[in-house]
């Protein structure tokens, strides 16, 4: 493709013309897109496909040609590699993928993601990301409306864990702005409160931010996994007595394992009384705000100072799509995070630089994650999003009732949300007496069933031990591709896989 005439050589490199063969590149993209369409997108709703084609790590290494070499591969070889990558990857959009807090496929969000990958933007200044910055502003405004604040601020982040970190640092900044410059070394011990059932990112955040995991005071929860407000009050008083500095309560709206919602209104009372920042980790449960039927789960959330909410979970916006929303609209977020890099955030630009919002972020390059949520919202409308939430929770309800009807299945608790936690007690254990031996044996059941379902590829479902309870399944219902037939299949399949246990 080089223009040989008038070639300019510098350091032995010909500088005329581009070095890429654009036509061949475009053809490669077209061929690969065809594979993606046929092997991923068109199979997304097909239950006869496997959820995964399981290979253990050593075998998979043999199959995939992982090594990067001095010379490149042919397009033909590369397309085969793409096929292999798809074949051996887990199909998270499969109607029977229930393993995580995300699942399914949304065609609109997917298109938005293809657009942003092709445009390859970074969202920090209006000059390089005009559309995506306006879209982010507008999505944040809409999410704030659903929280019930009159105004606010916010930013999209690479994950709910990062959103929780943002909130923790922001609460600390409001508590003592000098920490930004001075650090924590001369200060009393900062203490924050969250429930025993909180996401593990609270510990990661406390450690990363220099607060220390021991200064996270875990508040007891009731039998449904909800923070007990009286226990919170006690712990705040304890911290005060110790001479430490309480600054933050992190409530959870939709806990990871049980799907529990902390009583936000009562917690907000305590925060108000003690002057503590209230952050609500609604990464998982936030999407219920879209549903007029289920938004009561988050009653009181308008009293929070900040909220983490991940539309990539129940709303299917694609990983990652995570907003931190902040009630303050006086510039707290920017003051807390800004570093005023002169090479990026020039103040003598020819447009209104208040649109250069990148300095609110701990990141420099940042992906336009709001856009995929926006396009999906435009496509489905609020009622379409609401329908998703209502249906997921109705399916969860259906599953709960079916579990109650079947021998050998035992609910851990009546769920509030889309996490349905249950044990499967295989035939050989059904007549055993309740006691340590029974639970010890039951503990081993879920891992065996999990191994069998993975190797068969029929579905994917998570299990875990949890706070003294032996291994149980956690079924998470999300995808609009899922129907009650899939719920029935799930229970039938567990029985089938475990019939000899």
Residues 86-115, interacting with its own copies (CB under 8 A):
86, 88-93, 95, 99-100, 102, 105, 107-108, 110-111, 113-115
Tell me the C-alpha distance between 64 and 59, whole Å: 9
Which residue is listed with tokens 């025993």?
A: 196
Query: Hey, which residues between 146 and 175 contact its own copies (CB under 8 A)?
Result: 158-162, 165, 169, 172
Q: Which residue(s) pair with 261 in the sheet?
A: 253
Tell me the C-alpha distance between 483 and 45, whole Å: 11
Smallest distance, its own copies to C-beta of residue 351, A = 6
Tell me the C-alpha distance between 401 and 404, whole Å: 5
Query: Hey, which residues between 208 and 237 contact its own copies (CB under 8 A)?
Result: 208-215
Phi and psi angles of residue 427, each rounded to the nearest 5 degrees, phi first: -45, -45
Smallest distance, its own copies to C-beta of residue 408, A = 21
Closest C-alpha among 283, 301, 334 to residue 173: 334
The one segment of 125-133, 246-254, 268-276, 490-498 that binds its own copies by CB under 8 A: 125-133
**DSSP state, 221?**
B
Q: Does 30 bind its own copies (CB under 8 A)?
A: yes
**Between residues 184 and 269, which has the closer beta carbon with respect to its own copies?**
184
Among 4, 5, 48, 70, binds its own copies (CB under 8 A): 70
Q: Does 485 bind its own copies (CB under 8 A)?
A: yes
Smallest distance, its own copies to C-beta of residue 487, A = 8
Among 72, 275, 435, 468, binds its own copies (CB under 8 A): 72
The one segment of 3-11, 259-267, 403-411, 427-435 that binds its own copies by CB under 8 A: 3-11
Tell me the C-alpha distance between 336 and 43, whole Å: 46
At a CB cut-off of 8 Å and minimum separation 6, what does 58 contact? none
Count interface residues toward its own copies (CB under 8 A).
189
Contact flags string 417-436 toward its own copies, x per CB under 8 A: --------------------
Retrieve residue 18's tokens: 């581009």
Smallest distance, its own copies to C-beta of residue 401, A = 8
**Between residues 9 and 431, which has the closer beta carbon with respect to its own copies?**
9
Q: Are strands 9-10 and 13-14 parallel, antiparallel or unpaired?
A: antiparallel
Tell me the C-alpha distance between 319 and 369, whole Å: 9
Among 4, 50, 96, 117, binds its own copies (CB under 8 A): 117
Q: Are strands 245-252 and 190-195 parallel, antiparallel or unpaired?
A: parallel
Greatest Cα pair distance in the chain: 90
Work out the angle at residue 294's Cα, subtended by the Cα atoms of residues 492 and 422, and round it to the nearest 5 degrees.
Answer: 30
Among 4, 5, 22, 433, binds its own copies (CB under 8 A): 22
Q: Does 207 bind its own copies (CB under 8 A)?
A: yes
Closest C-alpha among 100, 8, 112 to residue 52: 100
Smallest distance, its own copies to C-beta of residue 268, A = 26
The one segment of 73-81, 223-231, 263-271, 423-431 that binds its own copies by CB under 8 A: 73-81
**DSSP state, 40?**
I
Helix axis angle, 369-405 to 130-147, nearest 10°: 40
Q: Does 48 bind its own copies (CB under 8 A)?
A: no
Helix (H) or strand (E) holding 476: strand 469-476
The one segment of 138-146, 274-282, 299-307, 324-332 that binds its own copies by CB under 8 A: 138-146
Query: Hey, which residues between 359 and 398 contact its own copies (CB under 8 A)?
Result: 362-367, 371, 374-375, 377-384, 387-388, 390-391, 393-395, 397-398
Q: Is the dihedral of CA 480, 481, 487, 490 positive or negative?
A: negative
Q: Does 81 bind its own copies (CB under 8 A)?
A: yes
**Between residues 264 and 460, which has the closer beta carbon with respect to its own copies?**
460
Among 190, 248, 250, 490, binds its own copies (CB under 8 A): 190
Per the omega criterion (within 30 degrees of 0), is the bond before 16 cis?
no
Q: Which residue(s) pair with 218 in the sheet?
A: 194
Q: Does 463 bind its own copies (CB under 8 A)?
A: yes
Among 457, 483, 495, 496, binds its own copies (CB under 8 A): 483
- Length of the chain equals 501
Name the 3-class secondary structure at 353.
Answer: helix
**Between residues 213 and 329, which has the closer beta carbon with respect to its own copies?**
213
Tell me the C-alpha distance between 316 and 101, whole Å: 10
Tell me the C-alpha distance between 487 and 477, whole Å: 9
Q: Which residue(s) pair with 474 in the sheet?
A: 421, 462
Q: Does 454 bind its own copies (CB under 8 A)?
A: yes
**Between residues 348 and 500, which has the closer beta carbon with respect to its own copies?**
348
The one segment of 147-155, 267-275, 300-308, 461-469 that binds its own copies by CB under 8 A: 461-469
Tell me the C-alpha distance between 163 and 177, whole Å: 19
Smallest distance, its own copies to C-beta of residue 305, A = 18
Smallest distance, its own copies to C-beta of residue 101, A = 9
Q: Does 61 bind its own copies (CB under 8 A)?
A: yes
Query: Hey, which residues between 300 and 359 contact its own copies (CB under 8 A)?
Result: 312, 318-320, 337, 339-344, 346, 348-352, 355
**Between residues 318 and 415, which has the closer beta carbon with respect to its own copies?**
318
């Amino acid at each position: 493709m080089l223009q040989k005439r008038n070639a300019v050589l510098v350091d032995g490199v010909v500088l005329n013309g581009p070095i890429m063969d654009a036509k061949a590149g475009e053809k490669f993209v077209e061929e690969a897109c065809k594979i993606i369409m046929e092997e991923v997108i068109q199979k997304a709703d097909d239950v006869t496909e496997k959820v995964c084609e399981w290979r253990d790590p050593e075998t998979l290494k043999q199959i995939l040609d992982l090594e990067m070499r001095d010379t490149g591969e042919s397009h033909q070889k590369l397309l085969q590699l793409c096929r292999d990558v798809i074949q051996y990857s887990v199909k998270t959009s499969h109607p029977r993928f229930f393993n995580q807090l995300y699942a399914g496929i949304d065609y609109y969000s997917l298109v938005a993601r293809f657009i942003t990958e092709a445009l390859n933007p970074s969202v920090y200044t209006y000059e390089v990301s005009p559309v995506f910055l306006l879209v982010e502003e507008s999505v944040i405004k809409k999410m704030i409306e659903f929280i019930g604040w009159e105004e606010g601020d916010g930013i999209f982040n690479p994950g709910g864990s990062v959103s929780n970190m943002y909130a923790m640092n922001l609460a600390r900044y409001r508590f003592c702005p000098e920490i930004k410059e001075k650090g924590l070394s001369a200060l009393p011990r900062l203490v924050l409160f969250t429930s025993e059932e909180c996401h593990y990112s609270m510990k990661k955040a406390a450690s990363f931010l220099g607060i220390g995991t021991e200064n996270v005071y875990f508040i007891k929860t009731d039998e449904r996994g909800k923070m007990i407000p009286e226990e919170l009050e006690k712990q705040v008083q304890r911290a005060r007595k110790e001479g430490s500095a309480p600054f933050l309560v992190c409530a959870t709206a939709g806990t990871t394992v049980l799907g529990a919602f902390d009583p936000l209104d009562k917690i907000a009372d305590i925060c108000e009384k003690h002057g503590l920042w209230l952050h609500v980790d609604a990464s998982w449960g936030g999407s219920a705000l879209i549903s007029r039927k289920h938004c009561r789960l988050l009653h009181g959330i308008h009293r929070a100072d900040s909220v983490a909410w991940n539309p990539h979970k129940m709303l299917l916006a694609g990983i990652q799509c995570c907003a931190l929303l902040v009630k303050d609209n006086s510039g707290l977020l920017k003051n807390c995070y800004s570093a005023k890099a002169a090479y990026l955030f020039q103040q003598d630009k020819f447009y209104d630089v208040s649109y250069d919002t990148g300095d609110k972020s701990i990141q420099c390059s940042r992906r336009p994650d709001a856009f995929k949520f926006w396009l999906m919202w435009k496509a489905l409308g609020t009622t379409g999003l609401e329908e998703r939430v209502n249906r997921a929770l109705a399916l969860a309800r259906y599953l709960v009732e079916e579990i109650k009807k079947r021998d050998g299945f035992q609910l851990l608790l009546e769920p509030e949300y889309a996490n349905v936690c249950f044990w499967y007690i295989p035939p050989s254990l059904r007549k055993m007496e309740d006691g340590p031996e029974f639970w010890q044996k039951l503990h081993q059941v879920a891992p065996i069933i999990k191994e069998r379902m993975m190797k068969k590829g029929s579905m994917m479902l998570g299990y875990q031990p949890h706070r003294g309870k032996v291994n149980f399944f956690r079924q998470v219902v999300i995808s609009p591709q899922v129907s009650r037939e899939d719920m029935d299949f799930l229970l039938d399949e567990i029985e089938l896989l475990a019939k000899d246990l």
